[in-house]
């Protein structure tokens, strides 16, 4: 982050605004809405600012800014069209250790003002670090349309009940589970709609003996890496879980979407890096759920496509642990789509096969006759470390050496690289370009289409 987001309490706090034009007026409205005591330094004022001064609501010094006028405000905003004046304001404020913002000039600012969605007491701030204010305003407009005005009433209602809920539930996890049930249920909808029966319903909920926090496991597919490809359901559960078990194939950007205070446990599962054996992962999920925790088992791709999800939920079912499976976009689908390689195409391939490239006892235990059929696409998971043996195996069992083949590294992310070649030269291409896991190998005539259909971050094809 270029800026640390923070909300300041300005009720009855002195704030200084330098400038008296339309831009200054907009900033003055925001400061007054936050309850600030406002002093303005400017030779002239807009009519609205002048009216506030005449009414005694705002202090005004009718002069050009001089450093000795600074005083001791909580914060300073400069909104003049003279950069030399703005520079003076910045220098004086920074020398006094006072936060200062110069409108549309991040270089002179120690803080920036975001675009604001006001559902007081709930306030949402959107910022681009001062680089593209228009984009922040566009995002604000989009959020304004998505967040009902009733959320303000809901936030006030919940705030009024906060201490009583805290007294009823001594454990943090219990309180969180109770509030999540309330704020996502019919009571919340009624409060946002203006119903006056919320207090009676809340009393009844607090008096009930319902178990608000039972342990469970969410088996969630994180997709191929791009956070935009998560399902809505996956994102909601990532925000609800108390503890997250994740593996090597989960992109760091995805972990940033997990609830901030959730415990994170890395369980490995990369080749030769099994931080926890599968049986231990299964046992850990069971023990955490039995302790009343909501466990998120976050897996790259889809849990049921080479993700051992079936083994994990089999254990959960045997132990009587409630669970839910949220599918994700498979790594094969994501890699193929972002590389411009259709997995099926009526002119090239009428079927597709997914296979793992693990070796056992130094050899591949693969159904080669099935993999070398014509008019078929083969996607190899976890085959990069044995790519030479894989390509040799295809050729040995009947595939032509010039059969098109591709490697897609870190598919769907900004780090994606796609190399295309043939079974004969793909291993050398992978080595020459330093391809590393996670990467998928795609074999079949459909690879020929990549040069023409690749749309995502086009890079020169190898070979």
172 labelled as ligand-binding?
Answer: no
411 known member of a binding site: yes
Q: Check whether 252 is labelled as a binding-site residue.
A: no
The answer to the question of whether 414 is labelled as a binding residue is: no
Binding site annotation covers 224?
Answer: yes
- Asked if residue 380 belongs to a known ligand binding site, the reply is no
Those residues whose C-beta lies under 8 Å from the C-beta of residue 434, and which sit 6 or more positions away, are none
- The answer on whether 122 is annotated among ligand-binding residues is no
Residue 107 is assigned to a ligand binding site:
no
Q: Find the catalytic residue in 27, 242, 247, 299.
A: 247
Residue of 27, 242, 269, 399 marked catalytic: 269
Contacts of 445 (CB under 8 A, 6+ apart): 348, 349, 375, 377, 403, 404
Q: Is 327 annotated as a binding residue?
A: no
Q: Is 247 a catalytic residue?
A: yes
Is residue 269 annotated as part of the catalytic site, yes or no? yes
User: Bridge partners of 345?
Assistant: 349
- Determine the distance from the C-alpha atom of residue 78 to the mean position of all C-alpha atoms in its chain, rounded to a whole number: 34
**43 marked as binding residue:** yes
Residue pair 267/189 in contact (Cβ under 8 Å)? The answer is no
Q: Which residues are annotated as a binding site for NAD(+)?
A: 22-23, 43-44
Give the active site residues: 247, 269
Q: Which residues are annotated as a binding site for S-adenosyl-L-methionine?
A: 224, 300-302, 382, 411
Q: Which residues are annotated as a binding site?
A: 22-23, 43-44, 224, 300-302, 382, 411
């Amino acid at each position: 982050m270029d800026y640390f987001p923070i909300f300041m309490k300005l009720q009855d706090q002195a704030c200084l605004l330098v400038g008296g034009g339309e831009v200054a007026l907009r900033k003055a409205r925001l400061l007054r809405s936050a309850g600030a005591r406002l002093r303005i330094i400017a030779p002239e004022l807009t009519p609205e600012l002048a009216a506030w001064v005449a009414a005694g609501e705002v202090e005004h010094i009718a002069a050009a800014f001089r450093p000795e006028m600074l005083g001791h405000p909580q914060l300073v905003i400069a909104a003049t069209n003279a950069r030399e004046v703005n520079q003076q304001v910045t220098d004086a404020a920074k020398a006094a250790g006072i936060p200062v913002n110069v409108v549309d000039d991040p270089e002179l600012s120690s803080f920036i003002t975001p675009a604001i969605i006001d559902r007081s007491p709930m306030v949402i701030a959107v910022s681009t670090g001062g680089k593209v204010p228009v984009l922040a305003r566009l995002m604000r407009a989009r959020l304004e349309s998505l967040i009902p005005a009733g959320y303000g009433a809901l936030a006030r209602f919940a705030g009024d009940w906060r201490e009583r809920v805290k007294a009823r539930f001594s454990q943090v996890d219990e309180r969180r589970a109770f509030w999540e049930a309330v704020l996502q249920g019919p009571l919340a909808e009624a409060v946002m709609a203006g119903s006056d029966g919320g207090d009676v319903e809340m009393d009844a909920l607090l008096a009930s003996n319902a178990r608000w926090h039972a342990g469970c496991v969410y088996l969630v597919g994180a997709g191929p890496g791009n956070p935009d490809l998560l399902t809505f359901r996956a994102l909601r559960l990532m925000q609800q879980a108390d503890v997250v078990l994740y593996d090597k194939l989960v992109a760091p950007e995805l972990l940033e979407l997990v609830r901030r205070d959730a415990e994170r446990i890395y369980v490995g599962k990369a080749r030769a890096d099994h931080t926890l054996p599968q049986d231990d992962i299964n046992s850990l999920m069971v023990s955490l759920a039995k302790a009343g925790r909501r466990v998120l088992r976050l897996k790259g791709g889809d849990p049921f496509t080479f993700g051992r999800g079936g083994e994990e939920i089999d254990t959960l079912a045997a132990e009587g642990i409630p669970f839910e499976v949220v599918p994700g976009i498979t790594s094969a689908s994501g890699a193929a789509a972002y590389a411009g390689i259709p997995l099926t195409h009526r002119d090239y391939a009428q079927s597709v096969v997914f296979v793992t490239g693990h070796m056992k006892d130094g050899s591949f235990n693969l159904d080669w006759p099935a993999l070398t059929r014509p008019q078929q696409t083969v996607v190899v998971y976890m085959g990069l470390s044995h790519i030479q043996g894989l390509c040799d195996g295809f050729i040995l069992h009947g595939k032509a050496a010039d059969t098109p083949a591709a490697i897609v590294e870190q598919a769907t992310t900004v780090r994606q690289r796609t190399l295309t070649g043939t079974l004969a030269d793909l291993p050398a291409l992978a080595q020459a370009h330093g391809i590393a896991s996670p990467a998928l190998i795609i074999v079949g005539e459909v690879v020929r289409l990549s040069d023409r259909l690749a749309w995502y971050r086009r890079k020169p094809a190898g070979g």
